[in-house]
């Protein structure tokens, strides 16, 4: 495993993501959106964005462990922090936040879980980094940046304080 220091500043990407979210909220004329962060990196980012956008409802937390599609191969994910959605998603406009959009499987699981709580009016997906490697047809509505990485490379957000991005090479 090699460690590469990425020239990616979380603060800059967060600024960019905030601008895109504001633009999307305005374009879709969302008056009172609610925000959900995906455990764990997405929640860290969502805490910042939730404050910056001054949203009314408390932040929702989604842990998609129970909705993963690799349960039969990997089994129960350890250290489960339960999901907590302190508002009704029925008919709401939802801003869904995650750190990295890669294969798309996490977002698939997150959408399934959200819909088990109710039927939202719309879901806007905001991610810090949209990288290549999608395995299912899902894309972000808003992102901090786009990234193209080699097959064996992973980008990971560490945090919550400080929030940092690192790019690692993993053996395939």
Partner 1 sequence: MAASPASHDLQLDSQGRLRHFLTIEGLSRELLLRIMDVAESFGSVTEQTVKKVPLLRGKSVVNLFFENSTRTLATFELAAKRLSADVLNLNIRTSSTAKGETLLDTIRNLEAMQVDIFVVRHAESGAAHFIARHCAPHVSVINGGDGRHAHPTQAMLDMFTIRRAKGADFGRLKLAIVGDILHSRVARSQIAALKTLGAGEIRVVAPKTLLPAQVESLGVVPYTDLDAGLAGVDVVMMLRLQKERMSGAYLPSESEYFRCFGLTERRLAKAKPDAIVMHPGPINRGVEIDSSVADGPQSVILQQVGHGIAVRMAVLSLSTPGGAP
- Give the span between the Cα atoms of 147 and 42, in whole angstroms: 18
Min CB(37)–partner 1 separation in Å: 15
Q: Is the distance from CB of 59 to CB of 35 less than 8 angstroms?
A: yes
Site for partner 1 in 107-146 (CB under 8 A): 112-113, 115-118
Helix (H, G, I), strand (E, B) or coil at 16: helix
> Which CB sits closer to partner 1, 4 or 71?
71
Q: How far apart are CA 102 and CA 34, in angstroms?
A: 24
Q: Kindly give the residue spans of alpha helices, DSSP state H, lying in the chain.
A: 10-27, 41-53, 71-74, 105-117
106 is a site residue for partner 1 (CB under 8 A): no
Nearest to 97, CA basis, from 41, 29, 137, 22 = 41
Taking CB under 8 A as the rule, does residue 80 contact partner 1?
A: yes
Query: Which of 22, 84, 139, 146 is close enough to bind partner 1 by CB under 8 A?
Result: 84
Nearest approach, Cβ of 112 to partner 1 (angstroms)? 7
Q: Is 162 in the site for partner 1 (CB under 8 A)?
A: no
Which residues form the interface with partner 1 (CB under 8 A)? 63, 65-67, 71-85, 90, 112-113, 115-118
């Amino acid at each position: 495993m090699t460690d590469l220091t990425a020239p990616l500043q979380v603060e800059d990407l967060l600024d960019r993501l905030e601008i895109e979210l504001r633009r999307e909220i305005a374009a879709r004329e969302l008056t009172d959106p609610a925000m959900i962060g995906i455990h764990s990196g997405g929640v860290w980012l969502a805490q910042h964005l939730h404050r910056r956008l001054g949203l009314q409802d408390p932040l929702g937390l989604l842990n998609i462990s129970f909705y993963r599609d690799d349960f039969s191969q990997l089994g129960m994910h350890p250290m489960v922090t339960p999901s907590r959605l302190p508002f009704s998603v029925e008919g709401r406009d939802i801003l869904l936040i995650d750190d990295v959009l890669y294969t798309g499987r996490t977002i698939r699981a997150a959408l399934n879980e959200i819909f088990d709580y109710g039927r939202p009016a719309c879901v806007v997906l905001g991610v810090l980094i949209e990288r290549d490697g999608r395995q299912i047809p899902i894309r972000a509505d808003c992102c901090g940046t786009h990234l193209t990485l080699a097959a064996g490379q992973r980008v990971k957000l560490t945090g919550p304080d400080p929030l940092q991005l690192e790019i690692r090479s993993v053996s395939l």
